[in-house]
Structure 1
Amino acid sequence: MMTLCLGAGALANCPSGCSCNDDTLVVVCEESRLDVLPIALNPSIQRLIIRNNKIKTIDSSMQFYADLQHLDLSQNHLVSIPNRSFAYQRKLQELHLNRNKISAVSNATFQGLTALTVLNLRRNFLEELGPGVFATLPRLEELNIGQNRISRLDPRAFAGLSALRILYIDDNQLNAVPTTSFALLGSLAELHVGLNAFSSLSDDAFAGLNRLSVLDLNGAGLSNISEHAFRGLPGLRSLNLFGNRLDTVPTHQLAVLTRLEELYIGQNDFTVLEKNSFNGLKNLKFLDVTGALQLERIEKGAFDDNVNLETVGFANNKKLTAIEDGTFVGLPKLKHVTLRDNAIVTLGETVFVGKELKQVDLSDNPLVCDCRLLWLQELLSEKSNFSTAQCAAPDHLKDRPLRTLAADELGCVLHDSRQQTIICIALAVAGAALTVLCIVLYKYRKNMREKLKDYKLNKRAIRKDLEYQKTFSTEEDYIVRGIHPGQYPAPPAPPHAPGLRPIPVTEL
């Protein structure tokens, strides 16, 4: 009965505009126009979400909620946090203070939060971090201090964070990688440090982070990466170099990342992906080159060393017109190819081949639909899950899906590409046989001429012999009949003269 009364009392004290649930022990006050923390909530609540209100400070009322595990005070008007404000929240695991106006924190700010695993200070006004500012958070696993104004980190700013696994320090005002500060984070697995103003990476820029698996340098302003910048990162699996100022692919620098599986390198300034651009990255599975506005050509052999590639993305590269034949050949695991929104006019039949392909996206390219694309039309017809490619030219085919066109509409004389192949092979074989015959005739021309001469002589001799035999046979016949050579036999009697018989020849 007492429990019921307590529940009813707690519900009765739920502030206007809030949702209070004593079964789940969750209180949500979103856009409730609160300017102070409510003091009369159920003291047993575990999740308190007071987001997008007008609270300016954290007062002593926090001491009444010692069972809190999750506290969200994001999108308020907090300017500062008094020391020991969370001294009684020893069960608190997540604290979200993002999108406020906090300009400073100290090593006394978070005292008492010995169970905290997630701290979110993103999008505040922090300018620097002093030594040991988070030292009272021994179990902290994720720290987000991105989108602040931090330009200076004390070398011992992250002291005591032996359990930290994820760090966001992106979108600040750092002009160099704070290598000495990072060296204290031996357990760090994921580092987001982009959108700063580094311009270059020095050798061993991430020394000490030998457990790092994800490194995000998106928009860091990099134009130069030194030879050994990524040394000491043996387990790195994902690297984001998107949105920098690299004019060539840093092939040699990347080659040490032998376990790399994901690489984002779009929105840079290189004009060509040359042969072996990603040499050494034998475990690479995912490659994204999006929005590289200067990229014009991908050479055959660019991915010769990347036999485990499964997905490649080339989208929104407005100058990309040439993908050489055989570019994606030799990639037996390739399943997804995105070539959307480039400047591709045509593609050779041998750009990619493979039974494993599950998706090809060629949409939004200025394709010229002629017989050169008959192979692609057949491929699109066979693979229903491939994207629709539309024609940009010639005019009478503009905006028509390539999949729906017949061979004669593409200007092909032969409708069957296999028939074309067979005929070409037959012609090639016939041509080769004719060439061999000519060579043989030319090589043995003297022997053949002599044999032909012998043949003619033999034929003439045979003819004379036949004539001689005929003559000799006639003379014998005359002798047998008692007629000497030079005499003619008497003409035979007419068949109609009755009673006449031939006169027998008396033998001598």
Structure 2
Amino acid sequence: MGLVSHVILLGCWASAVWACPDNCFCQGPRVQCNRLHSFPQNLPSSTRHIYILESSFASLKQEDLKDCADELQEFVIRGTPLTEVQPHTLDLTVNMGTLVITQTELQDLPDALFQNLHKLENLILKENKLTAIRPNWFTSLVKLNLLELSKNHLKSVPAFAFQSLSMLNYLNLNFNGISEISSEAFKGLSTLKILRLNLNVIKEIPSGCFDNLTNLEELSLQDNAITHLQSHTFSETPSLQKLFLSHNQITTLPKGIFLNLPQLSQISLYENQLESLAPGVFGQMPLKHLWLYDNKISHVADDTFRNLTLLQLLVLSRNQISHLSANAFRGLEQLGEVSLHTNLLKTLQDGTFQGLPKLINISLEHNFIESLPNGFLQGVSHLGQLDLRNNSLQNFPEHTLDSFSVVDEILFHPNPWRCDKDIVPFRDWLQQNPLKTNNTLIVCGMPADLEGEMIAFLSDESLILSTTGQPISATKMTDHPQTPPLRKSTSSPALKTTTTTSKIVEVTSSSGQEEVETSTKNTSIILILIAVLTVVFVSMILISCVTWRRNKTGRGEIARRNKNSVL
């Protein structure tokens, strides 16, 4: 009986010692606790992972971790209104590999809080209220790989703040209120690969700020207030692959600023105040996409992008471009799409797009283009889509229409098309190429009596000169077959009197005039019905063809993409 009693007592004691604390879930070496009013007590000594979530205590002290300090490898405290972490709280957690303190009320931490965490690899202190970076925090963290300080109340980055972090790969300082960075802030970070400084209020990048970051691969500076950059800002970051500079106030890019970036494959410069791009800004780099929309660029000079031989997408939309040099895109042999919409272009140079064998889409909508030059598509062998909507086009000469033979789809509507005798070649082209565009959307803008009429269905009789009201020449009427009009012509009486009617009037006696007029009216009604039915039938065929074409696939990687407001 004595032995049995001892066994029972031992079991009860062990159960009491190893019981999982209230509001906690224990599984092996892991303990997760939610909505605690105080730090859990009597944690098993074998505990390696502690997660304290959405609790309500305000202070953390050394005694809280004394039971499991030696084995503890991961400690996470989140969503708890901590205002204090006492000195020496982590002195005994020498095997800690990951420490996460986030979503608290902490404004500061003791200088020597991490002094014994020589094995710490991940330190996450985001979404707190820290107001300053203390360099002494990191002096012992020789193995730290990741440091997360985003979404705090930091105002500056002091010199040598991270100097001892010789193995750091990732540093996030975004979404603070940082306005000043020391030129020596990142000294010692020779292994750093990712640096995020976006969503701050930085106005200036000091000289030499990034000079020690020889292994840096990604640099985020977007969403700041940067006004200018020095030509050597990135000269000592040869490993850089991604550079984000969008949504700043940069007005110019100095020559050579991107010359020593042979591995750069992604850059964002949109939503700045750039007024020009000088040749020599971009060096040799494997850049594939270049976004420059929402700037103030007024012209693009020859050879501006010549070194970007692998570029596939160039977005220059929503600028103030009024002039494109003939060789602005020279050297871009891999370019598949160029977007120039919403600018101030009135015309283009001959051969602007020559030497671009991979070009698929050109976006020119929302400009002021009045005409296209003879060599508009010179050197282009095939084009998927050409967008000319919302320009000032009134007509096309025949040589321009001939150049459209290399284009699969052209968007013309709306434009202020002038429907006079000179529109006949364009009308005939629309009739002959129903699969290239939506004919039902291309309508006359002038003269007033033809406004809104579909150009493809205009009859020769309805086309008059807007100023003199004279009919088109007999040669034109002979050369092009008549298409039934969509509505009654409002042309001069001479056009309303047909040859057949004249002959009837000549041979009809006065006694039979009433019967002839009745017969003529019946004939007119029949002809109108035939014309209406013909228009309906032709429209159905055209719509079916357009629908079929738009359902086709296989236009290539970026052909026929659904364009957003930027592209």
**Aligned equivalents of 1:179, 1:74: Cα separation in 2:** 34
Q: Which has the larger radius of gyration?
A: 1
The answer to whether the Cα contact below 8 Å between 2:308 and 2:331 also exists between their aligned partners in 1 is: no
| 3-state SS of 2:195 partner | strand
Structure 1 residues 291 and 52: alpha-carbon distance in aligned structure 2, compared to 1, 3 A threshold:
farther
2:110 equivalent to 1:113: no
The correspondence for 1:21, drawn from 16, 24, 27, is: 27
| 3-state SS of 1:73 partner | strand
Aligned position for 2:183: 179
Aligned position for 2:82: 78
TM-score by length of 2: 0.57
Structure 1 residues 109 and 355: alpha-carbon distance in aligned structure 2, compared to 1, 3 A threshold:
same
Structure 1 residues 258 and 8: alpha-carbon distance in aligned structure 2, compared to 1, 3 A threshold:
same
Aligned position for 1:431: none
The answer to whether the Cα contact below 8 Å between 1:345 and 1:365 also exists between their aligned partners in 2 is: no
Question: Percent of pairs identical after alignment?
Answer: 19
> How well do the aligned residues superpose, as a CA RMSD in angstroms?
4.5
Structure 1 residues 345 and 294: alpha-carbon distance in aligned structure 2, compared to 1, 3 A threshold:
closer
Aligned position for 2:166: 162
Aligned position for 1:285: 287
How many pairs are equivalent? 389
Letter in 1 for 2:332: L
Deviations 1:428-447 (A, max 9, x none): xxxxxxxxxxxxxxxxxxxx
Aligned position for 1:146: 150
1:213-362 superposed matches below 5 A:
213-273=217-277, 276=279, 278-280=281-283, 282-289=284-291, 292-295=294-297, 301-313=303-315, 317=318, 330-334=331-335, 337=337, 339=339, 351=353
The answer to whether the Cα contact below 8 Å between 2:184 and 2:209 also exists between their aligned partners in 1 is: no
The answer to whether the Cα contact below 8 Å between 2:115 and 2:137 also exists between their aligned partners in 1 is: no
How far is the alpha carbon of 1:142 from its aligned partner?
Answer: 1.3
Aligned position for 1:57: 59
Letter in 1 for 2:304: A
| 3-state SS of 2:257 partner | helix
1:325-474 superposed matches below 5 A:
330-334=331-335, 337=337, 339=339, 351=353, 368-369=388-389, 393=414, 406-407=436-437, 409=439
How far is the alpha carbon of 1:408 from its aligned partner?
Answer: 7.8
**Aligned equivalents of 1:255, 1:15: Cα separation in 2:** 61
Structure 1 residues 341 and 132: alpha-carbon distance in aligned structure 2, compared to 1, 3 A threshold:
farther
How far is the alpha carbon of 1:134 from its aligned partner?
Answer: 0.9
**Aligned equivalents of 2:42, 2:322: Cα separation in 1:** 67
Structure 1 residues 232 and 46: alpha-carbon distance in aligned structure 2, compared to 1, 3 A threshold:
same
The answer to whether the Cα contact below 8 Å between 1:374 and 1:407 also exists between their aligned partners in 2 is: no
Letter in 2 for 1:216: S
How far is the alpha carbon of 1:184 from its aligned partner?
Answer: 2.6
How far is the alpha carbon of 1:167 from its aligned partner?
Answer: 1.6
| 3-state SS of 1:254 partner | coil
The answer to whether the Cα contact below 8 Å between 2:51 and 2:75 also exists between their aligned partners in 1 is: yes
**Aligned equivalents of 2:45, 2:364: Cα separation in 1:** 58
How far is the alpha carbon of 1:182 from its aligned partner?
Answer: 1.5
Deviations 1:113-160 (A, max 9, x none): 221111111232222233422112111111122332333444343242
Structure 1 residues 318 and 56: alpha-carbon distance in aligned structure 2, compared to 1, 3 A threshold:
farther
Letter in 1 for 2:67: F
Aligned position for 1:194: 198
The answer to whether the Cα contact below 8 Å between 1:35 and 1:56 also exists between their aligned partners in 2 is: no
| 3-state SS of 1:96 partner | strand
| 3-state SS of 2:171 partner | strand
Using the TM superposition, name which of 359-368 and 128-137 deviates more.
359-368
**Aligned equivalents of 2:225, 2:296: Cα separation in 1:** 17
Aligned position for 1:37: 39
How far is the alpha carbon of 1:269 from its aligned partner?
Answer: 0.7
Unaligned ranges ≥5, structure 1? 382-388, 397-402, 414-508
The answer to whether the Cα contact below 8 Å between 2:303 and 2:331 also exists between their aligned partners in 1 is: no
Aligned position for 2:560: none
Structure 1 residues 290 and 230: alpha-carbon distance in aligned structure 2, compared to 1, 3 A threshold:
closer
Deviations 1:303-354 (A, max 9, x none): 2111122454567x3767987777556434446x484985699998964886
Aligned position for 1:208: 212
Letter in 2 for 1:64: D
Structure 1 residues 98 and 298: alpha-carbon distance in aligned structure 2, compared to 1, 3 A threshold:
farther
Letter in 1 for 2:151: Q
The answer to whether the Cα contact below 8 Å between 2:156 and 2:179 also exists between their aligned partners in 1 is: no
Unaligned ranges ≥5, structure 2? 1-6, 368-386, 418-432, 443-454, 458-567
Structure 1 residues 201 and 15: alpha-carbon distance in aligned structure 2, compared to 1, 3 A threshold:
same
Deviations 1:256-302 (A, max 9, x none): 3344332121110124445x36432x113244426525356655633
**Aligned equivalents of 2:285, 2:366: Cα separation in 1:** 30
The answer to whether the Cα contact below 8 Å between 1:327 and 1:352 also exists between their aligned partners in 2 is: no
Structure 1 residues 287 and 228: alpha-carbon distance in aligned structure 2, compared to 1, 3 A threshold:
same
